[in-house]
Amino acid sequence: MSDKTSYEQDLSRNEAADNLQALAREIRGEGAADVTVGNKSVALDPASVIEYDITVEERSPMLGGERETITVTLDWEVEETD
């Protein structure tokens, strides 16, 4: 099964930081993580080891104006429970 839930909105810097901190609190520690995506909550089960990937992209004005993007990807194998 492959489901994808996404959401986009404009936030202040502080609001964006608050959302990242809320995500970090959910992933930290043991057990399930409830991740809010827009008005939906997605229950995830992070493994004890998570693959972390961060990419920073800086686009020049020649491509329609200067823009900076940070993409963070967290990826893990779902551990089987007996």
What is the residue-wise DSSP string for 19-57? HHHHHHHHHSSSS-EEEEETTEEEEE---SS-EEEEEEE
The pLDDT value given to residue 82: 64
CB 34 within 8 A of CB 42: yes
Low pLDDT (below 70) residues in the chain: 1, 63, 81-82
Using alpha carbons, list the distances in angstroms from residue 10 to 7, 18, 44.
11, 13, 25
The pLDDT value given to residue 80: 76
The pLDDT value given to residue 79: 77
The pLDDT value given to residue 55: 97
Residue 71: both structure tokens together: 């993409």
Longest dimension (CA), the chain: 55
| pTM recorded for the entire structure | 0.81
